[in-house]
């Protein structure tokens, strides 16, 4: 049946495009998988690596959008449509809106794939610890490694109870068809209580690995990290995925020429002039002075706070999103930018 294309009047977000929702599957009572249909001209823009995420701009009642990051649960070589999984978060506007409103035929503003939670090798043995919706990027990473790699994979997946398990059947089928390389261990709090490092040591038939991936609530990742360190995994081999924005302003070293400035910021047709404090990135100043621009990760990864520099000069502390030609065109990340000139003008389109 042909999709009915429902268009919403939502302001375009930086470095993003409208994608049509092709399918919505209710994985559990509190989680949905949302698949997107790519038009031919969008395929290159949304090429991705296993383990990356999309930044989705959810429409608000006032005509603005709220940006949130959601991991892809498909592998780039699977032939499956671009799909994210969204789990309700208590009082979470974006997750609840998507779970309640996403439907085939709708279009959403979506930023291109980003993120560094990706395999660095296809030959090493890896461990993966996921809890709840943290399984989402795992469903991109593990199948890709099984198809393209030679290493062994140990996967530990924790949930509250059987009803809260996302993609459980798919994971068990994957483990059954790759029993020689993939070992799946499930932890249900309803049966074992909250995960602990000691409990993991008792449950997991551990084999040494070269790299580890952690995704889920911070408390769970801390426990998994303690377990991994306890069995001899070096800290720099343990990788986390966390989309929670830090709330406090961050002090950074002030270089010569970065002594504060005046920033003239235009967003949604409104121009505001602010004092840019020395030693703080632009986004922190905007938040403090209640200038509301979109942002998500605050780590220079997702591109949610990208704006176009129209006057002056800034220095970015880091950048894992913008490409060279975009930087040449004036795009900068507010969460990474320090002033170099004493007057800066930037447009958030």
In the predicted model, residues of the chain with pLDDT beneath 50 are 1-14, 245-249, 256-257
CA distance 168 to 349: 41
pLDDT score for 13: 39
- Per DSSP, 293 falls in state -
Q: What is the pLDDT of residue 295?
A: 80
pLDDT digits (tens, 9 = 90+) for 298-333: 878 788 899 999 999 999 998 878 888 889 999 999
Distance (Å, whole) CA 337 – CA 349:
17
pTM of the model: 0.78
Cβ-count burial 269-298 (b if 16+ within 10 Å, e if not):
eeeeebebbebbbbbbbbbeeebebbbbbb
The whole-number pLDDT of residue 9 equals: 33
What pLDDT is recorded for position 258?
Answer: 54
pLDDT one-digit tens code per residue, 173-211: 999 999 999 999 999 999 999 999 999 999 888 888 999
- In this structure, are strands 238-241 and 211-215 parallel, antiparallel, or unpaired? parallel
């Amino acid at each position: 049946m042909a999709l009915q294309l429902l268009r919403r009047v939502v302001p375009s977000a930086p470095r993003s495009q409208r994608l049509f929702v092709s399918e919505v599957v209710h994985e559990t009572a509190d989680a949905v998988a949302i698949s997107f249909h790519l038009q031919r001209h969008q395929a290159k823009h949304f090429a991705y690596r296993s383990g990356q995420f999309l930044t989705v701009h959810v429409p608000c009642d006032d005509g603005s959008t709220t940006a949130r990051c959601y991991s892809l649960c498909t592998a780039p070589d699977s032939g499956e449509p671009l799909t994210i999984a969204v789990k309700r978060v208590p009082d979470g506007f974006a997750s609840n809106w998507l779970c309640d409103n996403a439907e085939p035929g709708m279009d959403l503003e979506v930023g291109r794939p980003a993120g560094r939670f990706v395999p660095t090798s296809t030959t090493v043995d890896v461990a993966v610890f996921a809890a709840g919706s943290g399984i989402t990027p795992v469903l991109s990473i593990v199948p890709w490694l099984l198809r393209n790699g030679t290493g062994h994979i140990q996967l530990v997946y924790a949930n509250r109870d059987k009803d809260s398990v996302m993609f459980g059947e798919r994971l068990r089928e994957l483990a059954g068809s790759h029993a020689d390389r993939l070992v799946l261990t499930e932890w249900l709090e309803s049966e074992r209580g909250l995960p602990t490092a000691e409990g993991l040591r008792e449950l997991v038939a551990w084999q040494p690995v070269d790299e580890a991936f952690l995704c889920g609530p911070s408390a769970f990742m801390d426990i998994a990290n303690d377990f991994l360190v306890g069995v001899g995994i070096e800290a720099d081999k343990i990788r986390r995925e966390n989309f929670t924005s830090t709330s406090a302003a961050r002090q950074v070293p002030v270089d010569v020429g970065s002594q504060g400035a005046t920033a003239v910021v235009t967003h949604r047709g409104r121009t505001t002039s602010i004092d840019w404090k020395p030693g703080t990135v632009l986004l922190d100043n905007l938040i403090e002075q209640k200038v509301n621009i979109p942002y998500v990760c605050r780590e220079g990864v997702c591109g949610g706070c990208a704006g176009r520099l129209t006057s002056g000069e800034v220095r970015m502390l880091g950048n894992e999103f913008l490409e060279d030609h975009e930087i040449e065109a004036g795009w900068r990340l507010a969460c990474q930018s320090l002033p170099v000139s004493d007057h800066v003008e930037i447009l958030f389109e």
